Amino acid sequence: MQEGQIYERLNVIFGDVFDDDSLALKAETTADDVDGWDSLSHIRLVLSVEKAFSVKFSAAEVGKLKNVGELVGLIQSKI
Amino acid sequence: MDVASITFVLFALAAALIFHAVANPLYRKTVLTLANLAFIASYLAEVRQVLPLAFFLLFGYGMIELVRQRRSGWALTLGLVFTLALYIFLKRFSFLSDLPTLPFSYLIIGLSYILFRIVHLIVDARSEPWDKPIEPWSYLNYTCNFLTMVSGPIQRYEDFRKGEQSLGQALNADTVYRSFSRIIVGFVKVSVISATANYLFQDLSAHVIAGSDTMPLVKFTVYYGAAAAAYTGYLYFNFSGYMDIVIAFGGLFNQQLPENFNKPFAARSFLEFWNRWHMTLSDWFKIYLFTPLMRLLATNFQSPALLPYLGVIAFFITFLVMGVWHGTTLVFVIYGLLMGAGASVNKMWQVKLGQVLGKKRHQAFNKQSVYIYVCRGLTFAYFTVAVTCLWVDMVQLENLFARLGAIGLAAAMLGLTVVAAFGAVAWDIGAAICARVKGVAIRFENVVTRNLWLASLIVLIAAVSSFYHKAPDFVYRAF
């Protein structure tokens, strides 16, 4: 899957999880840039991403993610 | 060997000199191993005292290898349960005093932090693509690193391995200067600031623990609040100074150790506080307890509306375990309950406030200065009251709460909140002034002035140390 396609699907997932359709994700987008992205919604986000891309993240991978770019890289490494 | 001691500094400097005598990575890895073994040996009166620790390390390695080879859920469960059971047995928790113990005293220093590293490796061994066993030599240096063994910071294994790959690099003058200046700043924190806070704490807490019946409640409450605040200051400067020393020494051994503090008293909530205080411990609990627990709960209860309440439960359990981990007696269970209650009430407050005010008004409310400083004050006050459990035993805690009563306790919380809120305002103003002064002073910075500055700090350490006769012990060593 192309990087652009991953971002496209992630935009939909983020919009659903954070109830904000105006989000335009970039590689450098972090939790500070998205209102409501805390440790709880992070888990919901991870579960939604795992379901959408049919992948599974480890505890360390979930804990270490620093920005959307790293999430995209992680998804790419697993599909 | 106490880390914040001249003996340790001389030991670490000698090890650093020997380490840099030859650039060969294998030679340097050997030097680190010998330094680690010498550090452990400094705590031993006889050889057999180290045997339980050695067995724990070997057992942990076996469990990691079992999980790495099987990569199954049952192997992971088995590995974690047996490792934790062995840890609990060796740690001699008071509630298990009926269990048989080993017939000799043995070394348990650093056992908790070794456990964190082993559990991290056991869990990751199931998911990480490790096609070869962990190298036993690296495992020994990782788990028993003399800089981080006693109280962290808890470095991740992959970061440790990256450091091993740069063992052969030469030091440059800037790294050496930055390391030495941070070591000196660490000693200022430990030997000057924390020693002063400890001096005040010892004096004030003696009245509180004695629980003088003749003292009026108002005076007793003020004494308690002041003693508790002094202890928090002592704890912070002692622990963060210790971290400065070990992280700076790490630089001299080509190790980039993770930071453990980030201005904790700037936190606007109890949950944010734990993202700034003992950060590597908080991260560990987040990765290996909170996240799996939340995943489990969120997978079984999928309604988004339930998520915040599941979070409250997960926060409570995580902070309860984190609190209980600090000690082996009943008072640490109370500490854990207070930590869990603080975290879950904090989360519940955030959720309810968001529901009542709505998204935009909640955001605007969070940015109001008065609210921010009240929250900072309250965060400090709650933490300060909770860590009372670290300086009293169960009987003393019961007596203290009986003497204070609900009114005294509420008054202490209120007083600490107000003082800390105004203190935070004063701190921010002071920090802004210092930043301006530093901006001017930096123009005059050169080799002479910056070394004069360090020399003046050393004189300050020597002068204050002679006043107190003895530097305070490293407080976190006990946990």
Higher local confidence (pLDDT), B332 or B267: B267
C-alpha closest to that of B209 among B413, B333, B394: B394
**pLDDT for the residue numbered B477:** 61
Residue to test with chain B: of A20, A35, A40, most B Cβ within 10 A: A40
Contacts of A64 in chain B (CB under 8 A): 287
Residue A75 is predicted with a pLDDT of 93
Per-residue pLDDT at B131:
85
Q: For B294, which of A35, A40, A60 is closest by C-beta distance?
A: A40
pLDDT at B129: 78
Decide: B389 and B334 in contact? Cβ < 8 Å: yes
The predicted structure's pLDDT at residue A20 = 82
- Overall domain count for chain A: 1
In 10 A of CB B151, how many CB atoms?
Answer: 24
- Angle separating helix axes B195-210 and B394-441, nearest 10 degrees: 160
Evaluate if residue B351 carries a pLDDT over 80: yes
Q: Do the Cβ atoms of A62 and A46 come closer than 8 Å? A: yes
Q: State yes or no: pLDDT of B478 exceeds 70.
A: no
**A39, A44, A46: residue with CB nearest B286:** A39
Give the one of A36, A47, A64 whose C-beta lies nearest to B295's C-beta.
A47
Helix B330-357 vs helix B307-325: crossing angle, to nearest 10: 160
B57-82 confidence digits (pLDDT tens): 999 999 999 999 999 999 999 999 99
Which chain B residues are Cβ-neighbours of A46 within 8 angstroms?
A: 295
B127 and A61 within 8 Å at the Cβ level: the answer is: yes
Conformation bin of residue B64: beta by default, left when phi > 0, alpha when psi is -120 to 50: alpha
Q: CA gyration radius for chain B?
A: 24
Structure-token pair, residue A39: 């440790």
Vertex B67 angle, CA B65 and B73, to 5°: 175
- The domain in which residue A27 lies consists of 3-78
Amino acid in the structure at residue B130: W
What integer pLDDT is reported at residue B476 of this predicted model? Answer: 66
* Residue B35 · residue B15 · CB < 8 Å: yes
CA nearest B304 in A: which residue? Answer: A44
Identify the pLDDT of residue B470: 67
- Asked if B121 reaches chain A (Cβ–Cβ under 8 Å), the answer is no
pLDDT (average), residues B160-165: 92
Structure ipTM? 0.85
Between A17-21, B326-330, B390-394, the lowest mean confidence (pLDDT) is in: B326-330
Across the A:B interface, residue pairs with CB atoms under 8 Å apart total 53
Give pLDDT tens digits for B301-320: 888 788 888 988 998 999 88
CA nearest B288 in A: which residue? Answer: A59
At residue B12, the pLDDT reads 95
Quote the tokens at residue B102: 């080993």
Tell me the per-residue pLDDT of A14-28, one tens digit each, with 9 for 90 and over: 998 888 888 888 889
| Cβ(B238)–Cβ(B476) below 8 Å | yes
Secondary structure in 3-state letters for B82-122: HHHHHHHHHHCCHHHCCCCCCCCCCCCCCHHHHHHHHHHHH
Q: What is the pLDDT of residues B249-283, one digit of tens each?
A: 999 999 999 999 999 999 999 999 999 999 999 99
The predicted structure's pLDDT at residue B471: 65
Using CB atoms, pick whichever of B124, B290, B304 lies closest to residue A60.
B124
Q: Which of A24-38, B91-105, B161-175, B365-379 has the lowest mean pLDDT?
A: B91-105
Give residues 136 to 175 of B whose Cβ lies within 8 Å of A.
156
Residues in chain A whose beta carbon is closer than 8 A to a beta carbon of chain B? Answer: 35-36, 39-41, 43-44, 46-47, 58-64
Beta-carbon contacts of B99 under 8 Å, excluding residues fewer than 6 positions away, are B89
Mean pLDDT for the stretch of residues B99-110: 86
Residues of A in contact with B288 (CB under 8 A): 59
The rounded distance, in Å, linking the Cα atoms of A79 and A37 is: 25
CB contact under 8 A, B288 and A59: yes
CATH number assigned to the domain comprising residue A73: 1.10.1200.10
Locus of tokens 């390390």:
B57
B374-388 pLDDT per residue, tens: 999 999 999 999 999
Hey, of B130, B159, B285, B295, which one would you mutate to test binding to chain A, going by the most A CBs within 10 A of its CB? B295
Is the CB of A62 less than 8 angstroms away from the CB of B291?
yes
Average pLDDT in the B175-195 region?
Answer: 93
Minimum distance, in Å, between the CA of residue A58 and any CA atom of chain B: 6
- Pick the residue from chain B with its C-alpha nearest to A17: B304
Least confident of B30-34, B89-93, B395-399: B89-93
Determine contact, residues A44/B304, Cβ cutoff 8 Å: yes
Specify the pLDDT at position B376: 97
Q: What does the pLDDT read at residue A19?
A: 81
